[in-house]
A = this chain, B = another copy of it.
Amino acid sequence: MKLEEKTISSQMIHKGKVVNLRVDSVELPNGNFSTREVVEHSGAVAVVPVTSSGEVIMVRQYRHPVGKILLEIPAGKLDPGESPDECVKRELLEETGMVAGRLKKLFSCYSSPGFSDEILHIYLADELYYQGQQLDEDEFVQVKKVPLKEAVTKICSGEIEDAKSIAGILAAVNNLC
């Protein structure tokens, strides 16, 4: 079965701060035509930082799109020209103040491939030492340490509701990848 679609034309609707939105016309495998909305994103990293006593260093932050404070693993967008390896060190330091003696890439994944090209590079960090949180003036993030096993419980209880955090924590707790 042929699955691929062919792009016929593309219209940029919005060029924004974090995302762009374009609407493409595509030809389907059966020759019919349809439109696809694409939210363009520069990509991001996220990291599961695990302390020597088995705690995950997480961050609480207000997420305007969902209108509430979420408990997440540290994460952030790639700067232009920045590699995921550089970005993850920067974000870990900025948000939690930690430097990782060891940093391991777990996997990369698409957050919402039905409507966005956002790719997330997920890491595991350990052998951590504290150097000092470096938040921007307009960044509001609260660090919270959660024992790894308790983090797993918080996924089922609904206290951790962020998809990348769930995927990263479950990969870390299983010593995957």
- Residues of chain A touching chain B, judged by Cβ–Cβ distance below 8 Å, are 1-5, 7, 13-14, 16-19, 21, 23-24, 26, 28-30, 32, 34-39, 41, 44, 60-67, 69-70, 72, 77, 106-120, 137-138, 140-142, 152, 155-156, 158, 161-164, 166-167, 170-171, 173-174, 176-177
A61 — which chain B residues lie within 8 A by C-beta?
3
- Asked whether, in the complex, the Cβ of B65 is within 8 Å of the Cβ of A138, the reply is no
Number of copies: 2
For A72, the closest partner residue in chain B by CB is: B113
- Residues on B with C-beta less than 8 A from A107 are 155-156, 158, 161, 166
- Interchain CB contact under 8 A, B37 and A111: no
A96 to chain B minimum Cβ distance, whole angstroms, is 14
In the bound assembly, the distance between CA atoms of A41 and B114 in angstroms comes to 11
Complex Cα spacing A106 to B166, Å: 12
Are A113 and B63 in touch, CB under 8 angstroms?
yes
What are 30 inter-chain pairs, A to B, with CB distance below 8 A? A3-B140, A3-B142, A4-B62, A13-B13, A14-B23, A16-B23, A16-B37, A19-B21, A19-B39, A24-B64, A26-B64, A28-B138, A28-B140, A30-B137, A32-B138, A39-B115, A41-B112, A41-B115, A44-B114, A109-B166, A110-B162, A111-B111, A111-B112, A113-B162, A152-B174, A155-B171, A163-B167, A166-B167, A170-B171, A170-B176
